[in-house]
Amino acid sequence: MDTDTEAEVEVDAGSDLTAAVECARGGDQDGFSALFRLVQPKLLGYLRTMVGEEAEDVAADAWLQISRDIGEFRGDGPAFRGWVRAVARNRAIDHLRRVRSRPQGVSWEVCGVEVAPLVRDSAEVVMDSLATACVMSLIRQLPVDQGEAVLLRVLVGLDSPEAGRVLGKQAGAVRMAAHRGLRGLAGQLDSACGVAAAAA
C-alpha cells in the first residue's frame, strides 16, 4: 500500500470514528457499537501490555465509564481515541493497585487439585501473547516515562499530542521520551542479538 493510499485509509477511519462519536453522544446505540468496533482492538492490545490476561475485564470497566460519560465528551474521532486510552489507563492503574493489595492465594497444586492446562485453539492468539510478553519484558526495563511513551506512540498508535493528553505531558516531552525509549529498546535488541550470535 503506497503512502497516499495509507493516508486515505487513515482519513476514512478518522471520519468514521468522528461520525460514530457524534451518533453515540446523541444516545444512538448503533453509533456506540461502531465506536466499540473501531476502538476496542487497539485498546485491548494496549491494556494487555499493562495488565496481561485481565485486559478484557479492565476494558469492560473502561467502556462502562465511557458509556456513562460520553454525553459530556467534546471532540472528534482522534480526540475520542485519546480520551478512551486515558480512561483505560486509569482503570488499569486502579486494577494493578487492587492486585498488589490483595493477599496471595493458595495455589491449586498445594490443595492437591489437578487443573487441566488451558489449551487455546488459536495459534494466532498464542503467538500474539508471546509477542506481547516479549515486548513488555523489554519495555519494563525502560524508565517509566519512556515505556509509557513507547506504548502509546508505537503500540497504540497515538500521535504525540494525543499521547500527551493521556499522560498529562506536552507533546514535545512525549516525543523525546518515545525517542529515548526506542533508542533504549534498540540497544537491548542489539545486546540480545550479540549474545545469541555468541552462543551459536
pLDDT for residue 189 is more than 60: yes
Question: For 7-43, what is each residue's pLDDT tens digit?
Answer: 343 444 567 888 999 988 888 888 888 889 999 998 9
Q: Which residue has the higher pLDDT, 53 or 107?
A: 53
More confident of the two residues 195 and 114: 195
pLDDT at 96: 79
Q: Which residues contact 152 (CB under 8 A, 6 or more apart)?
A: 46, 85, 158, 162, 163, 166, 167, 174, 178
Architecture of domain 123-200: Orthogonal Bundle (1.10)
Q: Which residue has the higher pLDDT, 151 or 68?
A: 68
> Is the model more confident about 16 or about 2?
16
pTM equals: 0.51
Confidence at residue 53, expressed as pLDDT on a 0 to 100 scale: 84
What are the boundaries of each domain within the chain? 11-101, 123-200
pLDDT at 102 over 80: no
What pLDDT is recorded for position 31? Answer: 87
Q: How many residues does the chain have?
A: 200
According to the model, what pLDDT value does residue 84 have?
92
Q: How many Cβ atoms are within 10 Å of 96's Cβ, its own excluded?
A: 14
How large is the average pLDDT for residues 80-101? 84
Give the pLDDT score at 119.
45
The answer to whether residues 59 and 44 touch, using CB atoms and an 8 Å cutoff, is yes
Q: Say yes or no to pLDDT of 172 above 70.
A: yes
For residue 55 the three cell numbers come to 485486559
Look over the chain and give the mean of its residue pLDDT values, rounded to a whole number.
75
**CB 50 within 8 Å of CB 90:** no
Structure confidence at residue 151 (pLDDT): 78
Instruction: Give the pLDDT of residue 39.
Output: 92
> Quick one: pLDDT at residue 97?
78
pLDDT category at 192 given cuts 50, 70, 90 is low
Residue position matching grid coordinates 517509566: 144
Q: Which residue has 498445594 as its cell numbers?
A: 110
Q: Give the CA count within 13 Å in the CB-facing half-sphere of 108.
A: 5
Q: How far is residue 89 from each of residues 4, 48, 52, 61, 82, measured CA to CA in Å?
A: 33, 11, 13, 11, 10
Q: The C-alpha cell of 13 is what?
A: 477511519
Quick check: do 11-101 and 123-200 share a fold?
no
Which CATH number, 1.10.620.20, 3.20.20.100, 1.10.1740.10, 3.40.50.300, labels domain 11-101? 1.10.1740.10
In sequence order, the 6+-apart residues with CB closer than 8 A to the CB of 172 are: 160
